[in-house]
Structure 1
Amino acid sequence: MPRPPLLPDPVGLKFVTLDTPPDWDAEFGFTGPLELEIGSGAGGHALEYCRRNPTVRFVAFEWRKKYARDTQARGEKLGLKNLRVIESDARFVVPRIFASGSLACIHLQFPDPWWKRSHAKRAVIQPEFTQLLLDKLAPGGRFDMRTDVQDRGVTMLSILEASGFKNPLGSGVFHPYDPEEVPSTRERRYLASGEPVYRARLVKPG
Structure 2
Amino acid sequence: MQIRQFQAQRMVAPRQFQPIENKPIAVEIGAGKGKHALQFCTLHPTQILYAIERTREKFDAMHKQAQLHPTENLVDIHADALPWVTHALYPKQVTQFFLLYPNPEPHNSAQRWLNMPFFEFLLSRLADEGTITLASNIESYIEEAEQQLKELWQLPYEKQIIPSDSERTHFELKYLQRGELCQQLIIRKPQGYKTRFDDFEPLNGQGHV
TM bracket, shorter-chain basis = 0.7 to 0.9
Q: Of 45, 49, 55, which aligns to 2:36?
A: 45
Aligned amino acid, residue 189 of structure 2? K
Distance 1:126 1:100 in 2: 21
Over 3 Å counting, the alpha-carbon distance change for 1:94 and 1:108 in structure 2 is same
Task: Give the deviation of 1:73 after TM superposition.
Answer: 2.0
TM-score by length of 1: 0.76
Q: Give the count of matched residue pairs.
A: 177
Aligned to 1:143: 132
Aligned to 1:104: 95
Over 3 Å counting, the alpha-carbon distance change for 1:47 and 1:79 in structure 2 is same
Q: Give a deviation string over 1:157-200, Cα, whole Å, max 9, x none.
A: 33344224312x4xxxx323368976212112233332101211
The question of whether the paired residues in 2 share the 8 Å contact of 1:101 and 1:136 is answered with yes
Task: Give the deviation of 1:60 after TM superposition.
Answer: 1.1
Aligned amino acid, residue 202 of structure 1? I
The question of whether the paired residues in 1 share the 8 Å contact of 2:109 and 2:115 is answered with no
Over 3 Å counting, the alpha-carbon distance change for 1:133 and 1:48 in structure 2 is same
Aligned to 1:60: 51
Distance 2:22 2:72 in 1: 13
Distance 2:135 2:155 in 1: 15
Q: Does 1:130 align with 2:115?
A: no
RMSD: 2.4
Q: Of 20, 27, 36, which aligns to 1:22?
A: 20
Distance 1:62 1:158 in 2: 28
Distance 1:47 1:153 in 2: 26
Q: Does 1:163 align with 2:153?
A: yes
Distance 2:148 2:66 in 1: 33
Aligned amino acid, residue 205 of structure 1? P
Task: Give the deviation of 1:156 after TM superposition.
Answer: 2.4
What SS does the aligned partner of 1:96 have?
helix
Aligned to 1:183: 168
- Structure 1 vs Structure 2: percent identity of aligned residues? 21
Higher relative contact order (CA 8 A, sep 6+): 2
Q: Which runs of 5+ in 2 are unaligned?
A: 1-13, 192-209
Over 3 Å counting, the alpha-carbon distance change for 1:133 and 1:200 in structure 2 is same
The question of whether the paired residues in 2 share the 8 Å contact of 1:13 and 1:86 is answered with no
The question of whether the paired residues in 2 share the 8 Å contact of 1:104 and 1:137 is answered with yes
The question of whether the paired residues in 2 share the 8 Å contact of 1:44 and 1:184 is answered with yes
Aligned to 1:113: 104
The question of whether the paired residues in 2 share the 8 Å contact of 1:13 and 1:87 is answered with no
Distance 2:110 2:141 in 1: 13
What SS does the aligned partner of 1:175 have?
strand
